Amino acid sequence: MRRAACQILATPVCRNGPVAPTLSGVEFRLLGAVEIQGAGGESIRLKRRMERLALAVLLLQAGRVVSADRLVDLLWRDAPPAGARGAVQSLVSRIRGALRDTGGEAQLLSQGQGYVLRVHPDTVDVHRFTGLVARARAVDDARQRSALLGAALDLWRGPALADAAAGSVREELCGGLEEARFAAYCDRIDADLVAGRHAELVPELSKLVTEFPLRERLHGQLMLALYRCGRRGDALDAYQKARKLLVAELGLEPGPQLRDLATAVLTDAVAAHPQAAHPAAARPAQLPPDLVGFVGRADHLCRLDGATATVRVIAGTAGVGKTSLAVHWAHRVRHRFPDGQLYVNLNGFGPSGPPMAPDQAIRGLLDALGVPAGKIPHDLPAQTALYRSVLADQRVLILLDNAYDSDQVRPLLPGSPRCLVMVTSRNTMSGLVATDAALPVRLDMLSTQEARELLAHRLGAIDDSAADERAADEVIARCAHLPLALAIVAARVATSPGLTLPALAAELSELSGLSNLSKVSYLDALDGEDATTRVRTVFSSSYRSLSPIAARLFRLFGGRHCGPSASAAALASLAGLPCPDVGAPLAELSAANLVVEPASGRYACHDLLSAYARETVEDDPAAVRRMLDHYLHTAYQAALLLEPRREPIPLGAPAGGVTIVALSDPAQAMAWFAAEHAVLFAAIPYAAAQRLDTHAWQLAWTLTTYCNRQGHWDRVIATLAGLRDSGEPHVHRLLGLAYAHLGRQGKAESHLWRALDLTRDPVDQANVLNNLAWVMARQGRTEAALKHVEWGLDRYRAAGHRAGEARLLNAVGFFQTQLGRHQSAIRHCRRALAMLEELDDRVGQANTWDSIGYIHHQLGEYPEAAACYGRALDLFREDGDRFHEADTLTHLGDTQHAAGDGERARDTWRQALAIFDDLGHADADQLRTRLDEAAGRAV
C-alpha cells in the first residue's frame, strides 16, 4: 500500500503557489532522493548509498544524539562487518566534508558514543513538511488550509529516502512519513471540499480509489464530491463498489462513518459541511485532573512544547512527578486534539500486581473509542490493526502512564502522525527511542529552588515560617527532593494547626535515626539507599499524624485491597465500617495526599505509599473476606439484573460489616461493572491466593453476562488459569463458555465435558449439556446438539425442574426445525409454551413465541410467523428486555421481507438497529449491512 502511495503521490499536487524558500538558501532534501542543495542552487550530492543513509538518519533526528550502534544497525542490519564502528567513523568524516560546502549551516559533532547534527529545522524538508502540516491544521479558513497543505506536499519529489533506504530499514524510517504524507493529502482534499471544489476533485478521487481501494476515507470523499455535483445515484453506486471491495478483500463491511454517509446520501440528509455527514465519533476525555498549582519543570515543559516527535517518553524514578508533568502538559495542549484524549495506567511497577497486558490495555482504549464489543478481535495483532485503523484519520492525545517496557507500549502506538503519545515510565524506554523515534525526557529530583517553590506555593499563604529557608531546605533534604514526599509534608503542615516547618524539620530529623524505618522492601527500589530511608521517614511522619481510624484505613487500603482503585463502599467493607463513616477518614487521607481521587467517588494509592502500607499492615483475614464479600454480593446482584433468567448459585451470607451497593436496574448494573470490572478480574486470583476458592469461581460466575456483552472472554481465560486444577465444575463450565465465545470449540468442549464429569447435581448437569449442545450447533452438528438437549431434558425431568424442562423443550423444537422436522418442532414448542404459561415465566414464553414464529417462517406461513413475533415482542417489552426485543424485531423484519413487504421490513429493521446501537451490541453491524443492501436495491 505504501509503494502505491509513493507512485501516485510522486507528482506535486499543490495548486496554490510556490513553497516558501528556506532561511539561508541551503536545503537538505530527504523527501525523494537524499541530497544537499547549496545556497547558490548547486547540488552537493553524496556518492555512496551508505553516506546518504547515514546523513538521512542524522537529519531525521536533527539536534538529537544518534548512537553509533543505532547507525551500525541501520546501515548493515543483521550482518555488520567486524570493523563496523570504524566504517561509521569514515562515513561521518565524508559527511562532514560535504557539509563544509554548505558554509557552516550544519555541524556534525561527536557526543558520547554517538553523533549529533546541529542544523536549523527549516533547512530540512522533512521538518518543514511537518511544520506546514501543523500550521494547516490550526487554520480555520479552508482555502488557506488547502494552500498550506499543498505547499507541504510540494516538498515531496518522490518516495522518502528513495536512493538511500530499502526493505525493513525503509519501513522503519519512512513508514510514518508516508502515512503522514497520505493523511496530509486527504486533509487537503477535505479542505477543498469545504471550499467548494468538488467538481474538480471527482477525477482526482476516482483515480485515488482505484489506487487505494481499501482506504475508506477516500471512498467517502468521492461520495461527497459526487453528491455535491448533483450525482446522487453515482454517489450511492460508489458506496456499493466500495462495500464490495472491502468485503471481497478483507471480509469486512464498511465502517460506521461510510455507512452513515451512504444513508445520508440516500435520504438527502448530507450536511452543508462535508465532514458533518459523518456522525461524531466517540470523543473520550480521560485525562486525570490537572494538578492545581503545578510549579517547576520549566525546562521540561519547554522541551515538550518544542518537540515534533509523535511519541514522547518521560522517564524517572518513583514519586518524581512523571505523571503530574505528563498530565499537566497534556491539559495545556489538549485543544490541539479535538478527537479526544485517552488515558491508561499500565501498572508497570508496583506491589499491587503484574503489568497490564497489551491486549487488556488496547481493549480498554477501543472501548473508550466507541468500538462495539462484538467488533473487537481477540488476538493482539488484530486488535492493534483495528486500533490503528480507528485512529487513522483522528487527532487524539494518548497518555500511557506507568509503562513497564517498550514491548508493552509498542502495540498501543497509533499509526497516524496526527496522534500524540505520552509515555511515563521508570525505565528509559530506549527501545522506543531507538526504533520509534520517541523523544526521551529524563525527569530528575526537583532542584532546591523548584522544591522551595513547591513548598512556598502550598504553604506561603498559610504559614509565615515557610519563608524560613533553613527549615525549608532541611525538609527538602529529608524528602530527598522527591515531589511526592514534598506534597505529603506540605499537606501535613497545611492541615495541622500549630505545626511549623522548623518543627517538622526537627521531627523528620529525629525519625530518620530510628532503625525500624530501614526495612528492605519495594521502597528500596528508589535511587540510592539514603533516598529510600528518607522517603520512608516522610511517610512514617505523615502516617503517625493520622487519626487511628484514618491510619487503619490507609493500612488496609494500601496493604490489602486487590485492585488499582476502590469505591467508598469497598473501602468501608474492607474496614468494617458503615459507608457514611468512611467519608471522614477518606477526607483526612486525601488532605494528607496519602490517597488521591482520580475519578469522582473512586480512590487510589500511589505505589510507594502502597508499599509503605504493606510494611505496616497486619494480617487481617476478616478484612480480606469483607472486601471480597462486598465485590461478590454486589456483582451477584448486578449479574441477575442483567440476566434474570440465569440459574442462581448458592452464596454464603456476607460477613458482618459488609456494604452491598444497591442496584435497581440493568443500566445501573452495567455502569457498576464498567467501573469495577478491572478490580473484579484482579479479585479472582487474589481470592484464590487467599485459599478462598469459592469466592474465586463465584466472582467469575458473576462476570459471565458482562463479559458476554463486552467480549472480555479472553480475560476470563487468563484470570481462571490458576483455578484449572481446582476440581470445581463451575470453573470448567465458565472456561468452556469463554472458549466457545472465542470460537475455540475444541477447547470449549473439553472443558464442558470436564465440568460434566465433575458435576453430580442433575440440574447442573442439564445446564452443562445445554451449553454443550450450543457449542455443537455452532459447529454445524445439529443432530448431536439435539441429542444433548434431549439428555438435559431428561435430567431436568428427573429433578422435577419444570422451568428447565420447559426451556429445553423449546430448545428441542428449535433444533428440530433446523433439521426440517417442523411439525415435531412446533409440538415441542407449544408444550413448552403451555408449561411456561403455567409457571408464569414471561421471559421463557417470549423466547418460545419467537421460536414458534421461526418455525412458521420456515414453513412459509408468513402471517402466522409475524403474529407469533408480535406476541414475543409484547412480552419482551413488558419485561424491559431490549436485546431480545431487537433480536425478535430482526426476525420479524426477515419475515416481512420474505413476504414481499420490503418497505415495512426496512422500517422494522431500523427499529431493531436503533436498539442494538443503543446497547452497543455486535449484531448492529450485521443488521446495518442488511439495511444497506435493501436500501441499494430500493434505489
Whole-number pLDDT of residue 259? 81
**Least confident span in 131-135, 137-141, 404-408, 609-613:** 137-141
Whole-number pLDDT of residue 1? 29
In this predicted structure, the answer to whether residue 25 has a pLDDT above a threshold of 80 is no
Whole-number pLDDT of residue 773? 92
Read off the pLDDT of residues 889-936 as tens digits, 9 standing for 90 and up.
999 999 999 998 888 898 899 888 888 776 655 567 778 888 877 766
- Highest mean pLDDT (candidates 96-110, 494-508, 728-742): 728-742
User: 3-state SS string over 322-334?
Assistant: HHHHHHHHHHHHH
Of 719 and 752, more confident = 752
In this predicted structure, the answer to whether residue 303 has a pLDDT above a threshold of 90 is no
> In the β-sheet with 43-44, what is the strand arrangement from edge to edge?
27-29, 35-37, 43-44
**Least confident span in 40-44, 243-247, 867-871:** 40-44
Helix (H) or strand (E) holding 886: helix 882-898
According to DSSP, the β-strands at 311-315 and 439-442 are parallel
- Are the beta carbons of 785 and 827 closer than 8 angstroms? no
What are the backbone dihedrals phi and psi of residue 116, each rounded to the nearest 5 degrees, phi first? -130, 130
- Are the beta carbons of 49 and 164 closer than 8 angstroms? yes
The letter for the amino acid at 132 is L
Measured distance CA(419)–CA(402) in Å, rounded: 20
Q: Could you tell me the pTM of the whole model?
A: 0.54
Distance of CA 31 to the CA centre of its chain: 33
Measured distance CA(344)–CA(330) in Å, rounded: 14
Whole-number pLDDT of residue 461? 43
Helix (H) or strand (E) holding 67: strand 66-67
The letter for the amino acid at 173 is L
In this predicted structure, the answer to whether residue 650 has a pLDDT above a threshold of 80 is yes
- Are the beta carbons of 796 and 832 closer than 8 angstroms? no
CB burial of residue 893 (10 Å; 0-12, 13-18, 19+): buried
Read off the pLDDT of residues 801-834 as tens digits, 9 standing for 90 and up.
888 899 899 999 999 998 999 999 999 999 999 9
The letter for the amino acid at 735 is L
- Are the beta carbons of 626 and 657 closer than 8 angstroms? yes
In this predicted structure, the answer to whether residue 409 has a pLDDT above a threshold of 90 is yes
- Are the beta carbons of 149 and 136 closer than 8 angstroms? yes
pLDDT band, very low/low/confident/very high, at 350 (cuts 50, 70, 90): low
**What secondary structure letter does DSSP report for 124?**
B
Whole-number pLDDT of residue 341? 92
- Are the beta carbons of 848 and 833 closer than 8 angstroms? yes
Percent of the chain with pLDDT over 70: 87
What are the backbone dihedrals phi and psi of residue 64, each rounded to the nearest 5 degrees, phi first? -120, 150
Q: Which of 705, 762, 765 is nearest to 730 (CA)?
A: 765
